[in-house]
């Protein structure tokens, strides 16, 4: 921790970065901290309780400006960073990534290849809560699934916290804000909710890195992260990619193989 603080202070002091995005103690759990001077780095912490996906901030132009920034990244954040890189949203010159590895050593990544190699050691695991709900859903027939999701969606009041928390929802204009035509109504209503969540899942296919930020952010506890996570797991073997290991291989959905499954096509 001291090493992290020291390095962060040095980076800011010598001007190699203008901003360091990290964590500080919050009232209930760690919260994001934006350090612009060496003084504030004293508050930096980094441990397993730091679960906010900080990658969400690094695409925000109004926050990061034009300067080089640094971010302290958990595995989830690293995965998101790689996916953002795949999608041409980041450049190596503008980003320095810090993390603390399993041995408690401070690690610094300058290139995305280094991050990719580091992330490759970690397998994506399914959480208990996730497994529990998935088993429940898998035990349902189609009508039951429909009713289950309708029930869950009936709580959604379209606060779009899921969208805000997701590092990959960086569009400047979301499809719900497109009004020529208005594909999906932006307000809460059963159809608009269902369409929004199906649309979100579709937009995440081959992109979601399973950080779970959307589900954590939902104020009414809809397990929406499950949809995108499950899709990620199910589509990976289908499209031939390793979940949780984005690489510069293009977008899984916008590429294809001659022998993609097609028994459903008559």
Partner 1 sequence: MSSNTVFEPKIIAFVCNWCTYAGADLTGTSRLKYATNVKIVRFPCTGRIDFLLLLKSFAQGADGVIVSGCHPNDCHYTSGNFHARRRWIAFRAILDLMGVDIRRIQYSWVSAAEGSKWADLVNNTVSEIRALGPYTEYQQVADYLEKGGYNGEA
Partner 2 sequence: MSKIGVFICHCGENISATVDVERVSKEIGGMEGVAHAIDYKYMCSDPGQTFIKEAVKKYDLDGVVVGACSPRMHEPTFRRACAESGLNPYLCEMANLREHCSWVHEKSEETTDKAIDLVKMLVEKVKKNKPLDSIKVPVTKRALVIGGGIAGIQASLDIANTGHQVILIEKDPSIGGHMSQLSETFPTLDCSQCILTPRMVEVAQHPNIKLYTYAELESLEGFIGNFTAKIRLKAKSVNYSTCTGCGACIQKCPVKKIPSEFNAGLGTRTAIYVPFPQAVPNKPVIDRVNCNYYKRGACKICEKTCQVGSIEWDKEDEIITEQVGAVVLATGFDVKGADFFPEYGYGKFKDVLTGLQFERLASASGPTFGEIRRPSDGAIPKKIVFIACAGSRDPAKGIPYCSKICCMYTAKHAMLYQHKVHDGESTVFYMDIRAGGKNYEEFVRRAIEEDTVNYIRGRVARVYEKNGKLIVKGVDTLLGGEQVEIEADMVVLATAGVANCGSEQLAQKLHVSYDPYHFFAEAHPKLKPVETNTAGIFLAGACQAPKDIPETVGMASGAAVKVAALFSNDQLVREPVVAVVNRLAPPLYSTCVGCFMCETACPYNAIEHEEIKGRDGSLIRTIARVNQGLCQGCGTCVAFCRSKSIDIQGYTNEQVYAEVMSLLND
Q: Which residues bind partner 1 (CB under 8 A)?
A: 137, 140, 142-150, 175, 183-184, 189-191, 194-195, 197-199, 201-202, 205-206, 227, 230-231, 234-235, 238-239, 253-258, 260-262, 264-266
Residue 255: alpha-carbon gap to chain centroid = 22
The piece of 87-95, 102-110, 217-225, 237-245 that touches partner 2 (CB under 8 A) is 87-95
Q: Report which of 210, 209, 204, 194 is spatially closest to residue 169, judged by C-alpha positions.
A: 204
Q: Report which of 212, 207, 213, 201 is spatially closest to residue 245, judged by C-alpha positions.
A: 207
Q: Does 253 bind partner 2 (CB under 8 A)?
A: yes
DSSP for 125-189, please give it. ---HHHHHHHHHHHTS-HHHHHHHHHHHHTT-----HHHHH-TT---SS-GGG--TT--S-SS--
Looking at the Cβ atoms of 161 and 174, the one nearer to partner 2 is 174
Q: Does 191 bind partner 2 (CB under 8 A)?
A: no
Q: Specify whether the CB–CB gap between 71 and 55 falls below 8 A.
A: yes
Whole-angstrom Cα distance, residue 232 to residue 243? 6
Question: Of residues 75, 175, 189, 194, which one binds partner 2 by CB under 8 A?
Answer: 175
Using CB under 8 A as the criterion, what x/- string covers residues 89-108 for binding partner 2? x-------------------
Q: Does 195 bind partner 2 (CB under 8 A)?
A: no
236 touches which of partner 2, partner 1, none (CB within 5 to 8 A by kind)?
none
DSSP 122: P
172 touches which of partner 1, partner 2, none (CB within 5 to 8 A by kind)?
partner 2
Would you tell me how many other CB atoms lie within 10 Å of the CB of residue 215? 21
Q: Specify whether the CB–CB gap between 168 and 80 falls below 8 A.
A: yes
Question: Of residues 60, 140, 255, 260, which one binds partner 2 by CB under 8 A?
Answer: 255
171 touches which of partner 2, partner 1, none (CB within 5 to 8 A by kind)?
partner 2
Whole-angstrom Cα distance, residue 247 to residue 229? 18
160 touches which of partner 2, partner 1, none (CB within 5 to 8 A by kind)?
none
Whole-angstrom Cα distance, residue 49 to residue 88? 30
Q: Give residues 131-170 in contact with partner 2 (rule: CB under 8 A).
A: 170
190 touches which of partner 1, partner 2, none (CB within 5 to 8 A by kind)?
partner 1
Report the nearest approach of partner 2 to the CB of residue 254 (Å): 4
């Amino acid at each position: 921790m001291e090493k992290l603080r020291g390095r962060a202070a040095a980076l800011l002091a010598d001007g190699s970065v203008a901003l360091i995005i990290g964590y500080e103690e919050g009232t209930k759990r760690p919260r994001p901290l934006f350090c612009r001077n060496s003084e504030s780095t004293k508050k930096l912490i980094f441990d397993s309780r730091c679960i906010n996906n900080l990658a969400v901030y690094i695409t925000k132009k109004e926050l990061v400006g034009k300067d080089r920034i640094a971010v302290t990244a958990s595995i989830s954040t690293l995965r998101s960073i790689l996916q953002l890189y795949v999608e041409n949203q980041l450049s190596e010159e503008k980003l320095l990534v810090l993390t603390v590895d399993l041995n408690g050593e401070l690690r610094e990544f300058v290139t995305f290849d280094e991050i990719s190699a580091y992330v490759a050691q970690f397998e994506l695991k399914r959480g208990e809560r996730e497994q529990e709900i998935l088993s429940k859903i898998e035990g349902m027939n189609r009508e039951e699934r429909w009713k289950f999701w309708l029930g869950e969606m009936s709580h959604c009041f379209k606060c779009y916290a899921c969208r805000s928390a997701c590092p990959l929802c960086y569009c400047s204009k979301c499809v719900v804000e497109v009004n020529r035509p208005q594909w999906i109504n932006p307000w809460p209503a059963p159809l608009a909710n269902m369409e929004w969540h199906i649309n979100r899942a579709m937009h995440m296919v081959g992109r979601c890195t399973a950080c779970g930020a959307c589900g954590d952010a939902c104020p009414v506890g809809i397990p929406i992260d499950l949809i995108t996570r499950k899709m990620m797991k199910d589509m990976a073997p289908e499209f031939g990619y390793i979940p949780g290991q984005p690489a510069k291989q293009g977008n899984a959905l916008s590429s294809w193989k001659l022998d993609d499954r097609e028994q459903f096509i008559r």
